[in-house]
Chains A and B, each alone.
Chain A
Amino acid sequence: MNTINNKFSFARFAAVLKCDLMENWVRYVGVFAILFFANLAYQLTDIKDVVELSTLRALPVEEYMRQLAIDCVPLFYGVLSLSLMCAAADMTTVPFRTKGHATNYLMMPATNMEKFLSRVFINVVMVIVMAYVALFLADLARMLYVAISDIEGFYGFTVPTVWNELFEPLREAYKNGGVGYVIVDNEIVRPEWEMSMAIMAVATLVLSMFYVHSIIFLGGCIWRKGALLKTIFMVFMIAFLIIWVIAQIIPSEEWIEIVFYPWVESVAESEKEFMRFVFLITNVVFATFTILHWWLSYRLFSRKQMIPRMHLFGSNHPHHFFKKAHS
């Protein structure tokens, strides 16, 4: 046997990454173009609404944009997340899209971990960078469009605007001693929003995105074609099953009207500590499941074969999977 190191090697990881980028650059540029045009379409559609609504409400466009950034944060992140997920799902399956590609990739002399991390790098780091660069270029294109088409529009970049609007209350709260009420322009804008709750909420948002991404990545490790659609379908099926089981245990009217709303209201109104605990638990659950999904993804990835064969459970037998998982 030759003297090749079988442990993790950064040089080999870089070489795998380089091969992947060089061999699939057309596809990655294609994904980038889709991200760019999706963002641009979103922004150009948005310009009309901003101008129209700000005129109706007699607000300056910049002021209206600030307000919109707060109101549209969930929508903005929804669009961005969906674009990212599509890109991520597409990129996970790139080396396994055909029998020939899978053969080349599996036979590449590198450890499973090196190959897996190169996929993770492309799937997480590169996708995020691509998304933000696409958004940045879409911003530039939008500003150019606004300038040459002589319409009133917003001159500024989306990410810093949204970032500022999201964290402005936090900065103000810091100025006011770090805890308690959040004051913006001498007005109490979110009297119930304490610092710790705000941080928890942001953490939940970030963790939930990583959680969703991990599901998409896991789906990409299971299915070679149509991974995104199949994963979404499977998630809906599982969610439906869980809701159905809960509905069988607790009657629906009790569950929604008697149990859920009064419980949330009472907890939110009176027991902030408990609410923080609920946030913490949510975050722990998100983080745990995200790690579990990554672990399962690695298991599936390292057991991939040249043709699609489901090997979630080791050598086709459940006991092998659990035996190896515990060893």
Chain B
Amino acid sequence: MLKISDLAFSYSGNGCKVFNDFSLSFEKGSVYGLLGLNGTGKSTLLYLLTGLLRPQQGSVLYKGEDVQKRLPSTLSDMFIVPEEFELPKMSIKRYAALHAGFYPRFSYEQLQKNLAMFGLDDSVVFNNLSMGQQKKAFMCYALATNTSLLVMDEPTNGLDIPSKSEFRRLIASNMTDDKTIIISTHQVRDIDSLLDHIVIIDGSQVLLNASSDEICRRLLFAEQPISEPTDGALFVQPSVAGNSVILPNEFDEESRLNLELLFNGVLAERERFMELFK
């Protein structure tokens, strides 16, 4: 669905390359979690794959079309909710009426339903809302466009605690098999139950690219008392109860994916994890 090949990119005035010879692909029907340290290029990658930035080398193909061309057929099938955005001084209803025509699968009913989940209505003017509420309204609109690809950069930043669970519910209720959602975030606990696929990047390196099922099939996430030995663990992180450990899942045991632990483990023991998921 979305294929990134041999990508090279650097910002002007900054000689160091954000990406060099970077390749990755995204398939439809999954919610991807894009994780990485600050400055590793997560947001840049999102902008590159929506054609908002142009790579120096390589290509980003969406359903076989180069996103750099910015064709209406491509743009009407993808939507990005950036971390910082600006909306015009008009009501959500007016905004939807102006822009809905660009998206063939846009649904007003879905917009109303989505807004209701956050306790908003479409008559409210964007600028009269707080930043968090604006974000909720914009995400509701984004999901109502029903584009095959939805890209979100730090969607839970600025949302209050109840809204974070509403956000998970919103994504889950709008997700279908023909859609792909890519979420870049540092707030892994807000979305860990939502993700079907985890991608951890560090600049040009893809440290981990695996489905949540595969991760849980190969790894075992456990909490151990301090007295228990951690021999054979892939990664150990001290916790309040003792140690949080990642172990090889040799006996097909079931455990809940601990995304924060996985992220720290992959960064600390990158070679071991990369070898394991080769």
Chain A interface (Cβ within 8 Å of chain B)?
1-6, 9, 12, 15, 18-19, 22-24, 26, 98-104, 106-112, 302-303, 305-307, 309-311, 315-317
Contact = CB atoms under 8 A, between A and B. Distances in A.
B86 A101 contact: yes
Given A1-B65, A15-B102, A19-B99, A306 B52 contact: yes
Nearest to A18: B98
Contact of A2 (B87, B98, B104): B104
Nearest to A102: B52
Interface stretch (B26-34, B69-77, B114-122): B69-77
Interface stretch (B53-61, B204-212, B229-237): B53-61
B71 A6 contact: yes
A306 to B, nearest CB: 4
A112 B104 contact: no
Contacts of A309: 11-12, 53-54
Contacts of A23: 88, 90, 98
B47 interface: yes
Contacts of B79: 107
Residue picked from A1, A12, A108, A309, most chain B C-beta under 10 Å: A1
Chain B contact surface mostly:
loop
B86 to A, nearest CB: 3
B84 A106 contact: no
Contacts of A12: 72, 102
B82 A315 contact: no
Nearest to B71: A6
- Majority secondary structure, A binding face: loop
A309 B50 CA distance: 17
Contacts, number: 103
A109 B65 contact: no
A109 B85 contact: no
Contacts of A19: 98-99
B54 A315 contact: yes
B73 A2 contact: yes
Given A1-B65, A6-B71, A307 B53 contact: yes
B101 interface: yes
Given A5-B73, A15-B102, A107-B52, 4 more contacts: A1-B63, A99-B84, A107-B78, A316-B56
A103 B82 contact: yes
B272 interface: no
A127 to B, nearest CB: 21
B89 interface: yes
Given A1-B65, A305-B53, A316-B56, A109 B103 contact: yes
A315 B56 contact: yes
Interface in B84-114: 84-90, 94, 98-99, 101-105
B247 interface: no
A305 B52 contact: yes
Contacts of A112: 70
Q: Which of A18, A98, A110, A311 has the most CB of B within 10 A?
A: A110
A57 to B, nearest CB: 53
Contacts of B55: 315
Given A2-B73, A18-B98, A19-B99, A107 B65 contact: no
B104 A15 contact: no
Contacts of A104: 85-87
Interface in B153-190: none
B51 A100 contact: no
16 contacts: A1-B64, A6-B72, A6-B73, A15-B98, A100-B84, A104-B85, A106-B70, A109-B103, A110-B75, A303-B54, A305-B52, A305-B54, A310-B12, A315-B55, A315-B57, A316-B54
Nearest to A317: B56
Given A5-B72, A6-B71, A306-B53, A15 B84 contact: no
Contacts of B84: 99-100
Contacts of A101: 86
Contacts of B54: 303, 305, 309, 311, 315-316
A2 B75 CA distance: 11
Nearest to A111: B72
Nearest to B64: A1
Contacts of B52: 102-103, 106-107, 305-306
